[in-house]
């Protein structure tokens, strides 16, 4: 009986160890006024070693690209598209195509035109993270970034 109880306890511990949610990407946000009428909003992804997230610019048929959706508010408007630094481009066998991605960290930027004094940029971002062995399901994160 004692051996059976020990076996059940070890089985439960093993299940709990595998049931942990992986979060290999942490996001942080900030903004900086360029002048009284414009600001830049920064989205920084800090990526655990061995993992990567994908570029804003990927062809269909591959992994889910990183994307940003901004809520339309009367206090600001977008100026241009979200900008990214130059990504790493590599052929991935699992997708059968060249894909562009970022490792370690990446900062995306969006210029906004300010139409008020108390501005908060709101929206959501979607990204997919992979390593050499697996990909996690795409994740959506809401953001609210005050412009000061």
Going residue by residue through the chain, which has 148 residues, state the pLDDT in tens, using 9 for 90 and above: 454 433 334 344 444 445 568 999 999 999 999 999 999 999 999 999 999 999 999 999 999 999 999 999 999 999 999 999 999 999 988 889 999 999 999 999 999 999 988 899 999 999 999 998 999 999 999 999 999 8
The CATH class, in words, for 24-147 is mainly beta
Tell me the backbone φ, ψ of residue 24, rounded to 5 degrees.
-80, 0
21 token code pair: 């949610």
Q: What is the pTM of this model?
A: 0.84
Q: What are phi and psi of 76, to 5 degrees?
A: -155, 165
């Amino acid at each position: 009986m004692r051996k059976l109880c020990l076996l059940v306890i070890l089985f439960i511990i093993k299940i709990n160890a595998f049931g942990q949610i992986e979060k290999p990407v942490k996001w942080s946000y900030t903004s900086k006024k360029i002048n009284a009428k414009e600001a830049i909003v920064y989205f920084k992804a800090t990526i655990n070693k061995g993992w990567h997230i994908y570029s804003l610019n990927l062809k269909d048929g591959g992994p889910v690209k990183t994307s940003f959706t901004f809520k339309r508010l009367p206090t600001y408007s977008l100026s241009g598209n979200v900008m990214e630094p130059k990504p790493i481009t590599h052929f991935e066998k699992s997708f059968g195509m060249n894909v562009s991605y970022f490792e370690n960290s990446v900062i995306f930027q969006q210029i906004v035109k300010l139409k008020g004094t108390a501005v908060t940029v709101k929206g959501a971002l979607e990204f997919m993270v992979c390593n050499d062995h697996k990909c996690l399901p795409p994740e959506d994160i809401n953001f609210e970034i005050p412009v000061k």
